[in-house]
Structure 1
Amino acid sequence: MSECPHVRKLPHPEPAPLSETCPECLAIGSHPVQLRLCLVCGHVGCCDSSPHQHAGAHFQETGHAVMRSFEPGAVWRWCFVDGSIV
């Protein structure tokens, strides 16, 4: 894992999750796959393996570049701008 400039700009401590699952999936009756937590604002969204890709849509709408897995036991982070694990 490498450091990127977007990670250095993240709030500390990281934001609390705004929900337990992807609210956009719940609203449309879809099942979220592999949840992601926005490390800027705490939005929880489904990953790019989900039919609706709400975590990626959140980045496109907000510019919040870094998220982490919101799955139990997973610790990695992803930067949408750099397109890499950070």
Structure 2
Amino acid sequence: MIIHSLFGNFCVVANSRKPDGLLLQSRSRIALNRIFDDKRVRDNESGDYPFFVELGRQEFAHVLITLTKDISYENFDKDISELEVISSRV
């Protein structure tokens, strides 16, 4: 599953090591740090997403609730493009 939000862009996949686990992956450590403490963010040696967080399905459901509650925009494309301009300056 691909998620585009004002927190960042993420890819969610099953965690092959944990039957009920998921990996929330990102190309940006900063995007994951907007949701999780830096101690939970791990480097991914392979794939298109160099950073990930391991989480259970229930915790992921809470993350989705947080992302949903954060929706305050009327035009997502406009707001995300403004965020990308700010992020490129940091």
Q: TM-score, normalised by structure 2?
A: 0.27
Higher strand share: 2
- The higher radius of gyration belongs to 2
